[in-house]
Amino acid sequence: MSILDTKLAGVKTVLILGHVHPDGDCIGSCLGLYNYLKEVYPHLELTLCLEEPPQKFSYLQNFDQIRTEFVCGKVLDLCICLDCSSEDRLGEGGELLAMAKDSLCIDHHVTNTGYAGENVVEPDASSTSEVLYGLFEESRITREIAECLYTGIIHDTGVFKYSCTSPKTMRIAAKLMETGIEFNRIIDESFYRKTYVQNQILGRALLESITFLDGACVFSVVRLKDMKFYGVTSKDLDGIVEQLRLTDGVECAIFLYETEAQRYKVSLRSKQKLDVAKIAAFFGGGGHVRAAGCTMSGSIYDVVNNLSLHIEKQLKEWEKNACTTE
């Protein structure tokens, strides 16, 4: 019996929450849990609340059951928070968490603050979807549940190419594939497919990118006026930071997009030498060793300059350690 089964004993009403600006792992894990509880615990009254999810995930079962208004007019026995490292990352959902009689957090972020009544945090897991798989009874994982978990895993592993991918991740993915999911369609439609305008804004971000620290880092920024010109939202900016990270010779990629005047959402990616989670945490954010984010204020110069101080410090430490081990 997993901790999930233990928490559900005697429970009638369950609320499922994820982090603000839900990504593939957040949506996949939330719907994976929702569908699993529907299958295994049909007596439960379930509510799933998330900010508006991208339509590219609409192939997932019960996608249409996601509520985007954070209102729940009933007593909540249990609130389960997924893929969310801190209470403030729940956004409006934080108020609903406070109303619940009990809470459980299932996550894989090393920066998790342990804010729930009980917390299952596995920093070595590729994704929250991978953590969930270990809590589910394998024989009860349907094809539809598998689609959700597989979606979450491919998005947080970059289709199995990021360093968070482990042999265990691949074994779980294989098990999910054995349920008969159309894995190639899931990868193409939810991870790689882009609209024409998404390709345009990606191209502009790449064209206007700038390298610094002798080519070790690259950054790009999309301003509010650019988003208005192309008619895009933050959901259309997925993949830009990853493409920047692939630049030959670059160790760290930074992508900024403006959320309001002189306020930026910052995405950080690294290849080998940097722990970007530490950098993001310094500025009030969080994430993983190779992928993290935060929100910063000031001019573009101020933001990049402040980040570069921490990046340069870590690069020098890495080079120093590399020299001592030779």
| pLDDT tops 80 at residue 94 | yes
Could you give the percent of the chain with pLDDT greater than 90? 92
pLDDT digits (tens, 9 = 90+) for 139-171: 999 999 999 999 999 999 999 998 899 999 999
**How confident is the model at residue 323, as a pLDDT?**
77
- Mean pLDDT along residues 277-294: 92
- Mean pLDDT along residues 26-39: 98
| pLDDT tops 80 at residue 322 | no
- Mean pLDDT along residues 195-207: 97
Residue 212's SS3 state is: strand
| pLDDT tops 70 at residue 325 | no
Give the pair of three-digit tokens for residue 92: 């409006």
| pLDDT tops 80 at residue 326 | no
Residue of higher predicted confidence among 183 and 321: 183
pLDDT digits (tens, 9 = 90+) for 33-45: 999 999 999 999 9
What is the overall mean pLDDT for the chain?
95
Say if residues 115 and 86 touch (Cβ distance below 8 Å). yes
**What domains are defined for the chain?**
3-192 (3.90.1640.10), 196-325 (3.10.310.30)
